[in-house]
Amino acid sequence: QLRAAGAVPERVLDDSAAALLATASGGVPRALNRAAATAFELAHAAGTRFVDTEAVVGALEQLEIEVPDDGTA
């Protein structure tokens, strides 16, 4: 979806953040999309255009999706 919107994923989403989104969502597209959208909103609210694991953890917590024990994938 990022590429379709004209973005370069590597410039807006950290590799570890992407892996965490995939792991925490269990690969369920709806959960993945909601968590990713929320992470982008949180990153934007923080004044950055880059989504890192901190934004993803915040999104997962906000959506009440379990964060893996170590907070990484």
At 13, phi and psi to the nearest 5? -140, 120
Q: How confident is the model at residue 2 (pLDDT cuts 50, 70, 90)?
A: low
68: its two tokens: 């893996």
pTM: 0.82
Give the per-residue pLDDT at 68: 87
CB 17 within 8 A of CB 53: yes
pLDDT of residue 49: 82
pLDDT, one tens digit per residue, over 27-73 is: 899 999 999 999 999 998 999 888 999 999 999 999 999 998 765 54
Per-residue pLDDT, 13? 87
Looking at the chain, how many residues does it have? Answer: 73
